[in-house]
Amino acid sequence: MKLATFTHNNQTSIGAVIEDEIVDATLADDLPKDMISFLAAGQPALEKLQTLIDIGVGRIPLEDVHLEAPIQNPQKFLAIGLNYGKHIAETGLEKPEFPTFFNKQSSCVNGPFGPIHLPRVSEKLDYEGELAFVIGKKCRHVPKEKAHEVIAGFMICNDVSVRDWQFWAQTMTLGKSFDTHGPIGPWIVTPDEIEDPHNLNINVWVDDEQRQAINTNEMIFDCYDMIKTLSTAFTLMPGDIISTGTGAGVGVKMKPRGYMKAGQVCRIEIEGIGAIENPVIDEPEDTVLY
């Protein structure tokens, strides 16, 4: 099932994408109205949504809706650095013996087709095409062999990075958390539709130039390793997003540098999931708030 958050007739809802239509889950009075609550409701909620799909009600043409970020306000948005061998090689850094996690502030969340802001304070704006997964149940101390049971589904993430700000801050959080720098989507694909999350092709373009061609089988720490490690330290909650790292081909390592510029478009495709496509624009003046 492909679970989406969408806006139609000025109302934001959740639903399931079926080919070129979307089934509005909010037509069922007993289903939660937002994605995090829906995921927390577990299998019974999925079964009720499947019933709506089967009876064929509440279908809206996909072209008539605006797809939003599937998770609007995650409690946690985590990512991992240096998790692909070829990317480590292009950076010249050592292969980590322990996963290197960092936090992306949840205010960076952006939709699958929303504009990415080129910050007024930096021109070093980079892309990172990544597979992300979403936690589906409250969990702690999850063993690796059970980790697949707490994943609600998979989606695409662009771990947009402001490289100078990233390197200035040891935690990387500042350079990873500018507003609009967490495009996700276009929907959450449930695990039953992904045969193997650790064998998916990821392709990234800036305009018509392909920049990255990755397979998730290159991961050093796989999705289940990440859950085991993170849940040892703290409780994971429904709707938490974990992005799994990027491969070789980032702009900062191109010669000359391949940073994104206003007017360009970054497209990321992952097989079995779909694509997100985000235009780059100069940071608008109205972002000044005080």
pTM across the whole model: 0.97
Say yes or no: 132 and 13 in one domain: no
Domain end (from 67, 94, 117): 67
Say yes or no: 147 and 274 in one domain: yes
Say yes or no: 185 and 152 in one domain: yes
CATH code, domain carrying 245: 3.90.850.10
Question: Sorting pLDDT into bands at 50, 70 and 90, what band is 57?
Answer: confident
Question: Sorting pLDDT into bands at 50, 70 and 90, what band is 56?
Answer: confident
Q: What is the pLDDT of residues 79-113, one digit of tens each?
A: 999 999 999 999 988 999 999 999 999 999 999 99
Residue 72 belongs to some domain of the structure = no
Say yes or no: 131 and 97 in one domain: yes
Q: How far is CA 238 from CA 151, 164, 190, in A?
A: 9, 33, 14
CATH code, domain carrying 29: 2.30.30.230
Q: Which residue has better confidence, 56 or 41?
A: 41
Question: Sorting pLDDT into bands at 50, 70 and 90, what band is 114?
Answer: very high
Task: For the chain, give the percent of residues with pLDDT over 70.
Answer: 100
Question: Total domain count for the chain?
Answer: 2
Say yes or no: 27 and 140 in one domain: no
Question: Sorting pLDDT into bands at 50, 70 and 90, what band is 195?
Answer: very high
What are the backbone dihedrals phi and psi of residue 87, each rounded to the nearest 5 degrees, phi first? -70, -40
Q: How far is CA 128 from CA 3, 38, 66, 209, 271, in A?
A: 23, 29, 24, 15, 16
The pLDDT of 118-140, averaged and rounded, is: 98
Note down the domain range covering 31.
2-67
Say yes or no: 186 and 260 in one domain: yes
**C-alpha–C-alpha distance, residues 290 and 78, integer Å:** 28
Task: For the chain, give the percent of residues with pLDDT over 90.
Answer: 95
Look at residue 26 and tell me whether its pLDDT is greater than 90.
no
Domain end (from 40, 67, 94): 67
Question: Sorting pLDDT into bands at 50, 70 and 90, what band is 8?
Answer: very high
Q: What is the pLDDT of residues 157-182, one digit of tens each?
A: 999 999 999 999 889 999 999 999 99
**How far from the centroid of its chain's Cα atoms is residue 55's Cα?**
31
Domain end (from 26, 47, 67): 67
The pLDDT of 249-268, averaged and rounded, is: 97
Residue 43 belongs to some domain of the structure = yes
